[in-house]
Amino acid sequence: MSKRVGIEVSIAISEAVGLAKAEVIPAYPITPQTHIVEHLSEMVANGELDAEFVPVESEHAAMSCCCGAVAAGARVFSSTSSQGLSLMSEILYIPSTMRLPMVVVVANRALSAPISIWNDHQDIMIQRDIGWIQTFAENGQEAVDLTLHAFRVSEDRNVSLPMMVNIDGFTLSHVIEPIELPDQEEVDKYLPPFKPRYKMDPRRPISMGPVGIPEVYTEAKVAHDMAMKKAKRYILKAWNEFAEIFGRKYDPVASYRTEDAEVLLVTMGSISETAMTAVDTMRDAGQKVGLLKIRLWRPFPGQEFRKAVGKTKVLAVIDRCLPPGALCGPVGAELRSLFYKIPGSPKIFSFVAGLGGRDVTVERFEEIVDKARAYAKKRPRELYEVIGVREK
Amino acid sequence: MANSDAIVGWKTITFGCHILEPGNAANFRTGDWRSQRPVVDKEKCIKCGMCWVFCPDMAYSQDEDGYFVVNLEYCKGCGICAHECPKDAITMVPEEG
């Protein structure tokens, strides 16, 4: 039987990686991800996990090592954050088009400058287009569950793509929560041993990562894009199987009190929990407000999102990322693109909040809803608005 | 490098762009962008095989008389053979046209 324990989310993720029997863990510590790899290193050193822990010299080396280990047929895990994720950047595009499955947990954190170790989504948003499957966890339990789900999906021979699980730095990584850790038998049932489509084997030599001349590069990238689109089916299937074994059901887009809603907040990650409290408060006050939480970011679940919006006419989208000079935050842009010129589509208002560890409170969500209602009547001058920013 | 075998569609390209057939570079004419080619002077050649050893594209092979000859389908004209030849028997000649 699984057991419910009070545990730090980072440690719980490490335990999940242990239950998943990861075989190679190349990692470099960086705040706020450190506890995850620190605990995995302890598990390996104590003989609790039969894996190779590779204390690499940088995140660039970590991701390179991950690629090599998967190519050799190992189940691979790593974790990083912020500047470390950026240092991996050059390599991140490689395992995805090469169809090398692996799982990386990103403890989301702001990017310098100014130096910030605190939480937002700017680190992952610059990696939006790396071609990895990307999910966002709302709480500790979900962080654990999505980690196990990631191994299952990533290694599915119909998918065979690397997968990134995003957890908010500190807000999730350093919080102690009651978390149900599944037992080994259940995890083994959910996660069969890794059988790669191809691996580097001297008995059956192949080459991985050759040059793609102009005559084939486009075809290689389209093959990758098609694999991503096809992956959604298996992502959903793996969530259904997860529900059957572990009893917790996940959807690509989660709805909260959306019935008859006039305004829907749209969030990703841990601020969704505060947003639910805000929705409850506003509902108690007689306001018809609901919430949509995006759990699957890539491939983007457009069909599911449209269905979840239903007949609601106003969306207030919150981005925890401010791309200077852009038309709005990346989630806002994605949704505007999704609904562009679709008859009866909702008005979409884009807000930026919660940068560099600034809390997004219930009051802020109320302010966002009020503004979205006002903008629905009178179009705002700007395409997005930064919430809670001081002028002087 | 044009070879009809390389022109694949996104449905037929190998999984992850892997090369599943070892040594398949031999199927492709990789020397067609050469700007100079090696010419061997058989008077000077002592059949030592240094050109064959050093050629990075394995373009050299030995003929019936023991001389080493270059296959211009694969020679990229790098000139390493000419540089390494202990008898200066190899001259790099510009490709014309």
Say if residues B36 and B96 touch (Cβ distance below 8 Å).
no
- pLDDT over 70 at B66, yes or no: yes
| Gap from B30 CA to chain A (nearest CA, Å) | 12
pLDDT of residue B27: 84
Q: How far apart are CA A339 and CA A270, in angstroms?
A: 25
Topology of the domain comprising A3-246 = Rossmann fold (3.40.50)
Label residue B1 by pLDDT band (50, 70, 90).
Answer: very low
Residue with tokens 């995003």: A166
- pLDDT over 50 at B2, yes or no: no
Say if residues A170 and A357 touch (Cβ distance below 8 Å).
yes
pLDDT of residue A374: 98
- B9/A100 CB distance under 8 A: no
The tens digit of pLDDT for each residue in A105-129 reads 999 999 999 999 999 999 999 999 9
Say if residues A24 and A54 touch (Cβ distance below 8 Å).
yes
Q: How far apart are CA A14 and CA A29, in angstroms?
A: 14
pLDDT of residue A3: 83
Residue A344: what residue type? G
Choose the closest CB to B8 out of A100, A208, A216. Answer: A216
- A97/B9 CB distance under 8 A: no
Higher pLDDT: A297 or B28? It is A297
Residue A34 is classified by DSSP as H
Q: How far apart are CA A380 and CA A238, in angstroms?
A: 42
Say if residues A32 and A57 touch (Cβ distance below 8 Å).
no
The tens digit of pLDDT for each residue in A92-101 reads 999 999 999 9
Is A191 in a helix, a strand, or coil? coil
pLDDT of residue B6: 61
Mean pLDDT confidence for A188-206: 96
User: What count of residues does chain B have?
Assistant: 97
Contacts of A172 (CB under 8 A, 6+ apart): A9, A107, A137, A139, A140, A143, A269, A270
The tens digit of pLDDT for each residue in A341-364 reads 999 999 999 999 999 999 999 999
Say if residues A147 and A17 touch (Cβ distance below 8 Å).
yes
Contacts of A362 (CB under 8 A, 6+ apart): A274, A277, A278, A281
pLDDT of residue A101: 98
Domain covering A253-386 in this structure, CATH number: 3.40.50.920
pLDDT of residue A1: 63
DSSP notation for A354-375: -GGG----HHHHHHHHHHHHHH
Mean pLDDT confidence for B75-85: 97
pLDDT of residue A303: 97
Mean pLDDT confidence for A78-104: 98
- Which range marks the domain in which residue B20 is found? 4-94
Chain A residues with CB under 8 Å of B18 CB are: 98, 198, 206-208, 210
- B8/A219 CB distance under 8 A: yes
Residue with tokens 């569609």: B9
The tens digit of pLDDT for each residue in B43-62 reads 999 999 999 999 999 999 99
- pLDDT over 90 at A369, yes or no: yes
Q: How far apart are CA A294 and CA A51, in angstroms?
A: 33
Domain count, chain B: 1
Query: Any chain A CB within 8 A of the CB of B13?
Result: yes
- pLDDT over 90 at A45, yes or no: yes
Q: How far apart are CA A76 and CA A68, in angstroms?
A: 10
pLDDT of residue B5: 58
The tens digit of pLDDT for each residue in A2-31 reads 789 999 999 999 999 999 999 999 999 999
Task: Give the chain B residue nearest A101 (alpha carbons).
Answer: B16
Label residue A155 by pLDDT band (50, 70, 90).
Answer: very high
Nearest residue to A128 (alpha-carbon basis) of A328, A331, A293 = A331
Query: Any chain A CB within 8 A of the CB of B1?
Result: yes
- What residues 241-260 of chain A have any CB closer than 8 A to a CB of chain B? none
Which ipTM value was assigned to this complex? 0.89
Radius of gyration of chain B from Cα atoms?
A: 16
- A100/B16 CB distance under 8 A: yes
Q: How far apart are CA A123 and CA A111, in angstroms?
A: 6
Query: Which residues are registered as beta bridge partners of A25?
Result: A53
C-alpha pair distances (Å), A348 with each of A117, A331, A340, B1: 31, 11, 10, 50
CATH code of residue B42: 3.30.70.20
- pLDDT over 70 at A88, yes or no: yes
| Gap from A204 CA to chain B (nearest CA, Å) | 9
Tokens of A241: 């199987």
| Mean pLDDT rounded to a whole number for chain A | 97
Least confident of A165-179, B4-18, B33-47, B76-90: B4-18
CATH 3.40.50.920 region(s) of chain A? Answer: 253-386
Tokens of A167: 């957890």
Mean pLDDT confidence for A205-225: 95
Mean pLDDT confidence for B32-44: 94
Q: Is A312 exposed, middle or buried (0-12, 13-18, 19+ CB in 10 A)?
A: buried
- pLDDT over 50 at A142, yes or no: yes
pTM, whole model, 2 decimals? 0.93
Q: How far apart are CA A140 and CA A170, in angstroms?
A: 11
Query: Any chain B CB within 8 A of the CB of A157?
Result: no
| Gap from A320 CA to chain B (nearest CA, Å) | 33
